[in-house]
C-alpha cells in the first residue's frame, strides 16, 4: 500500500496555506496527487427572514464568497508552483463537513487541521476530522492549529490498545511507518500481563520493514490522553497515529474522551482512523 491520492481542505482561512504545505510535503514523499477541495457554502439566511432580504443582498454575499474563493485558488496554485508540484483545484457547493466526507472516499489520505479555539468562523475541525474518519472510512491527517509541519516525518508513535480502531490506524499509517527512522508502539494501562504489551503488533509491523519498538506506561483512566501527550514530548515524536473511538448517533457525533482530549490538545500532527 502507498499514498497516491491526497485530499486537502482548502479555504480562505489563515491556516489554509499550512494545510496545503503539509499535503504537498506528504505528496513529495510518496509522489502523490493532491486535490484541494474548497467547499462553497450557501448564504446563511435566518429562518423567517427570507421574504424580507432583497435578492441584491444575497447576490452580494455570493459574489463575496466567489471572490474569496478565487483569491484562495490563486494562492494555492502559487504555493504549489513554488513547491514544484501541481495540484487539482476543486470547488463544490455544500456544507464543509458533508462535502469533505463525500470526496474523502476517493482519497488515500485527507488533510485537515485542528480548530483554532479563537477562530469561530470555521467548522470545528475536531468534529470535521472525526466525521471524516468515521463517515468516510479514510485516514485523516490532522494538523495542529499553530506551528509549521511541512517537513519529513522521522519519529512516529502508535497509540496502541489492541482494539479494531487501533489496528486500522496502524495499517492505514503503514506508508509513514515504513519510511520512519523510529516507530514506537505505545500502550497506556495495558491489560495483558502474560506478555509484553504491544509486542505482537510490533512483530507484525517489523515483518513489513518497520523499525519498531514497544513501550508502555501505567496511568489512571482519566490520564490516558495526558500520558500519550507526555510520551509524544518525551520521545520527540513527529506524528501520532491513533484510532478514532466513537460513532454517530442521529445528527450528533459521539466519541471517546481520549480521542476528544487529544484532538483538542494535540502538539504534533495526528493520523486518525476508524
According to the model, what pLDDT value does residue 95 have? Answer: 85
Mean pLDDT calculated for residue range 230-246: 91
Mean pLDDT calculated for residue range 17-34: 96
Count CB atoms within 10 A of the CB of residue 150.
17
User: Of 24 and 118, which is predicted with more confidence?
Assistant: 24
In a domain, 88, yes or no: yes
Residues comprising the chain, all counted: 274
179 shares a domain with 109 = no
- DSSP result, 38-75: EEEPPPP--TT-GGGS-HHHHHHHHHHHHHHHHHHHHH
In a domain, 54, yes or no: yes
In the chain, pLDDT over 90 holds for what percent of residues?
Answer: 56
93 shares a domain with 176 = no
Longest dimension (CA), the chain: 72
Asked which of 95, 123, 143 is the last residue of a domain, the reply is 143
> Which residues face 90 on adjacent strands?
37
221 shares a domain with 193 = yes
Is 226 exposed, middle or buried (CB count within 10 Å of its CB: 0-12, 13-18, 19+)? middle
In a domain, 210, yes or no: yes
Are the CB atoms for 8 and 23 separated by under 8 Å? yes
User: Of 160 and 197, which is predicted with more confidence?
Assistant: 160
Residue 20 has pLDDT above 50, yes or no: yes
In a domain, 207, yes or no: yes
User: What are the φ/ψ torsions at residue 207 (nearest 5 degrees)?
Assistant: -70, -15
Task: For residue 121, give the C-alpha cell.
Answer: 468562523
Question: What b/e sequence results for 79-92 when a residue is b if at least 16 CB atoms lie within 10 Å of its CB, and e otherwise?
Answer: bbeebebebebebe
Asked which of 86, 113, 143 is the last residue of a domain, the reply is 143
Q: What is the DSSP letter of 114?
A: P
Task: For residue 102, give the C-alpha cell.
Answer: 463525500
pLDDT in tens, 78-134: 999 999 999 999 999 988 888 999 999 999 999 998 866 665 544 444 567 878 888
Mean pLDDT calculated for residue range 35-59: 69
207 shares a domain with 164 = yes
User: How many structural domains does the chain have?
Assistant: 2
In a domain, 148, yes or no: no
In a domain, 149, yes or no: no
Confidence of residue 264 (pLDDT cuts 50, 70, 90): confident
177 shares a domain with 137 = no
- pTM for the full model? 0.87
Asked which of 91, 118, 143 is the last residue of a domain, the reply is 143
Task: For residue 37, give the C-alpha cell.
Answer: 477541495
According to the model, what pLDDT value does residue 263 have? Answer: 79
In a domain, 63, yes or no: yes
Count CB atoms within 10 A of the CB of residue 39.
22
179 shares a domain with 54 = no
Residue 75 has pLDDT above 70, yes or no: yes
162 shares a domain with 242 = yes
According to the model, what pLDDT value does residue 250 have? Answer: 37
90 shares a domain with 12 = yes
166 shares a domain with 226 = yes
Domain that holds residue 186: 155-273
Q: Which residues contact 161 (CB under 8 A, 6 or more apart)?
A: 187, 188, 190, 243
According to the model, what pLDDT value does residue 99 have? Answer: 92
According to the model, what pLDDT value does residue 260 have? Answer: 74
Q: Which of 97-101, 191-195, 270-274 has the lowest mean pLDDT?
A: 191-195
Residue 223 has pLDDT above 90, yes or no: no
Confidence of residue 65 (pLDDT cuts 50, 70, 90): confident
164 shares a domain with 124 = no
In a domain, 35, yes or no: yes
124 shares a domain with 162 = no
Mean pLDDT calculated for residue range 123-148: 81
220 shares a domain with 113 = no
Q: What CATH code is carried by the domain that includes residue 249?
A: 3.40.50.620
Confidence of residue 257 (pLDDT cuts 50, 70, 90): low
User: What are the φ/ψ torsions at residue 191 (nearest 5 degrees)?
Assistant: -80, -35
Amino acid at each position: 500500500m502507498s499514498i497516491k491520492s491526497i485530499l486537502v481542505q482548502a479555504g480562505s482561512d489563515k491556516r489554509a496555506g499550512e494545510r496545503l504545505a503539509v499535503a504537498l510535503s506528504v505528496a513529495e514523499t510518496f509522489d502523490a496527487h493532491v486535490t484541494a477541495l474548497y467547499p462553497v457554502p450557501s448564504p446563511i439566511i435566518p429562518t423567517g427572514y427570507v421574504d424580507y432580504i432583497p435578492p441584491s443582498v444575497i447576490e452580494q454575499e455570493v459574489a463575496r464568497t466567489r471572490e474569496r474563493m478565487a483569491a484562495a485558488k490563486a494562492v494555492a496554485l502559487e504555493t504549489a508552483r513554488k513547491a514544484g508540484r501541481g495540484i487539482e483545484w476543486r470547488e463544490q457547493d455544500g456544507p464543509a463537513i458533508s462535502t469533505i466526507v463525500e470526496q474523502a472516499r476517493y482519497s488515500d489520505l485527507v488533510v485537515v487541521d485542528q480548530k483554532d479555539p479563537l477562530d469561530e468562523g470555521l467548522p470545528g475541525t475536531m468534529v470535521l476530522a472525526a466525521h471524516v474518519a468515521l463517515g468516510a472510512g479514510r485516514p485523516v491527517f490532522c494538523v495542529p492549529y499553530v506551528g509549521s509541519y511541512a517537513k519529513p516525518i522521522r519519529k512516529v508513535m502508535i497509540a496502541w490498545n489492541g482494539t479494531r480502531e487501533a489496528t486500522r490506524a496502524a495499517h492505514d499509517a503503514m506508508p509513514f511507518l515504513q519510511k520512519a527512522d523510529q516507530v514506537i508502539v505505545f500502550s497506556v494501562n495495558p491489560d495483558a500481563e502474560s506478555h509484553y504489551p504491544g509486542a505482537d503488533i510490533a512483530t507484525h509491523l517489523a515483518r513489513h520493514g518497520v523499525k519498531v519498538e514497544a513501550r508502555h506506561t501505567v496511568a489512571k483512566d482519566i490520564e490516558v490522553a495526558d500520558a500519550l501527550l507526555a510520551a509524544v514530548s518525551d520521545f520527540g515524536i513527529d506524528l501520532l497515529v491513533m484510532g478514532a473511538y466513537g460513532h454517530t448517533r442521529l445528527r450528533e457525533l459521539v466519541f471517546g474522551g481520549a480521542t476528544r482530549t487529544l484532538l483538542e490538545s494535540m502538539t504534533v500532527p495526528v493520523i486518525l482512523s476508524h
